[in-house]
Structure 1
Amino acid sequence: MSFFKKLAASAGIGSAKVDTVLEKDAYLPGEEIRGTVSVKGGNVEQQIRYIEVLLSAKYAVVKDDKKEWKTATIKSHRVTEAFTISPGEERHFSFSFNLPLDTPISMKAAGVFLFTDLDIQGGIDKSDNDPIIVKPHPWIDAVLKAVEELGFRLREADCEHAPYFKQRLPFVQEFEFVPVAQHYRRLFDELELVFLLDDSGLEMMIEADRRARGLRGWLEEMYNEGERLARVRFDEAELKDAEALKQSLQAIIEQNAG
């Protein structure tokens, strides 16, 4: 019977199971994530090579006017090295890591997932996949609120392939607004923003014009046609002054309306 149990476990039947629980559901970029990985042994003793948690997000790649979705690992964290799990045994492993500042915000189509990989020697690996909510960093939130107060509505916030920016990740998150205020509706059809957050402030790239690009996004178009993106940087003090920030954004938006 032992031989057949081992054979079944190697095929994933009666094998160890893994479950990951986080202390909470929502986090800010830069915040510490803490959780516990629980492993329950199956019908036979098994050797576990390691447990790893991977933070990931999907991003869009446009090729030949077709949109494809790929997955990028934002952060990987090794929870434990090799150990043995006995039949029916339960083991629990705590872990923690800081959420990277360039983690996408959970808005519209953008989502972030925590994937737990239980690597089983001689068997089928087990996994657990859980969505997490990433709230806007206070500095990004201040800009988003100011843009809305100026007369815009957020239409999309997806992640787009952008290797030409030479950032750590192969994508950036693009925030696409439509003007609802009559003044801006006369000037352009879309306002698109990209944020690059660091410890001392926030860099913002901006585009506002009337051109309909379809699947070929403004980031790719600007890069391929050699056009310079409008870029502006705000430090912490500027981002904390809501009224001054709104006035600065208003001037920048109108200056760059195409």
Structure 2
Amino acid sequence: MKGVLSRIGIGSATVDTILPTDTVRAGDSVQAEVHVEGGSTDQEIDAVYFALETEYKSDEGYKDAIVDQWQLTEPFTIEAGEKRRFETTIDIPRETPVTTRSTAVEIETGLDISMAIDPGDEDYIEVEPTHRTQAVFDALDSLGFSLHSSSCEASAGSLFTTSATFVQEFEFRPERGEFTGQVDEVGLVPVFDDDRLTLYLEVDRSAGLLSEVTDADERHTTLPIDDSDPEAIEPRLEARIRELS
């Protein structure tokens, strides 16, 4: 009877991932401990696995997305009441979304058990931008722009050179400086390809009601980012925004 109950999750083994911090930077790694505790009966564990998850907006509504997933262990048996501990390194991909009020990221740890409900553990983490993306944000701040909103959305294959199913867009508005009154908004999408970062940049101009209605006030461009120095990025970003405003 205990075996039957464990297959439906009652008295089954449990898993818990312990992170040293809940704040990580995209592109970095974090050490973690995984604790597995046996339930009321012996169980065959096919694998301990991880999934890095978020969600994005599509035409059909919000969808779950797996940023990355990987397996920690080979099959093993966990005896009733037994406790096991595994140490591992979790790599946070560069394309992991930056967490904001509207974007959440979690690490899901699961036990793969055949013919049974997989026990799991969920840990929400705060993801900071990569160093190069942060340098872009710092350059925009120097130009007088402040982050207004951010969202993950289904990628438009005709626009973005990426195989990802979604991208994260950041929208900045001018609060001071020369672009106040000239630009309504600057939208940017960072896309990583190998070791390169490409910004897909959209400038929404303050061009009057007719242009707003027809979307003629929006212009697009791309900008490769090869370093993490805000002072080097700022004049290039300023020139592109000026060209499109």
Give the TM-score normalised by the residue count of structure 2. 0.87
The change in CA–CA distance for 1:146 and 1:166 in structure 2 (over 3 A counts) is closer
State the alpha-carbon separation in 2 of the partners of residues 189 and 254 from structure 1.
13
Residues 1:109 and 2:106 aligned together:
no
Q: List runs of 5+ in structure 2 lacking aligned partners.
A: 207-214
1:196 positional shift: 1.9
Amino acid across the alignment from 1:5: K
1:247 positional shift: 1.9
User: Given that residues 203 and 219 in structure 2 are in contact (C-alpha distance below 8 angstroms), is that contact kept between their aligned partners in structure 1?
Assistant: no
Q: Aligned residue for 2:238? A: 250
Q: Aligned residue for 1:229? A: 220
The change in CA–CA distance for 1:70 and 1:100 in structure 2 (over 3 A counts) is same
1:184 positional shift: 2.4
Residues 1:197 and 2:192 aligned together:
yes
Q: Aligned residue for 1:188? A: 183
User: Given that residues 79 and 94 in structure 1 are in contact (C-alpha distance below 8 angstroms), is that contact kept between their aligned partners in structure 2?
Assistant: no
1:169 positional shift: 2.0
1:200 positional shift: 4.3
1:53 positional shift: 0.3
Residues 1:71 and 2:68 aligned together:
no
Describe how 1:32-181 pairs up with structure 2 within 5 A: 32-63=29-60, 68-164=61-157, 165-181=160-176
1:116 positional shift: 0.9
The change in CA–CA distance for 1:90 and 1:181 in structure 2 (over 3 A counts) is same
Amino acid across the alignment from 2:238: Q
Residues 1:13 and 2:6 aligned together:
no
Cα-to-partner distance string for 1:59-116 (whole Å, 9 max, x where unaligned):
11135xxxx1111111111011211111110011222242211111122312211011
Give the TM-score normalised by the residue count of structure 1. 0.83
Which is helix-richer, 1 or 2? Answer: 1
CA-based RMSD: 2.4
The change in CA–CA distance for 1:199 and 1:233 in structure 2 (over 3 A counts) is same
Amino acid across the alignment from 1:35: A
State the alpha-carbon separation in 1 of the partners of residues 197 and 2 from structure 2.
56
The change in CA–CA distance for 1:141 and 1:182 in structure 2 (over 3 A counts) is closer
Identity of aligned residues (%): 35
The change in CA–CA distance for 1:179 and 1:62 in structure 2 (over 3 A counts) is farther
The change in CA–CA distance for 1:183 and 1:229 in structure 2 (over 3 A counts) is closer
Q: Aligned residue for 2:201? A: 206
1:183 positional shift: 3.9
User: Given that residues 32 and 90 in structure 2 are in contact (C-alpha distance below 8 angstroms), is that contact kept between their aligned partners in structure 1?
Assistant: no
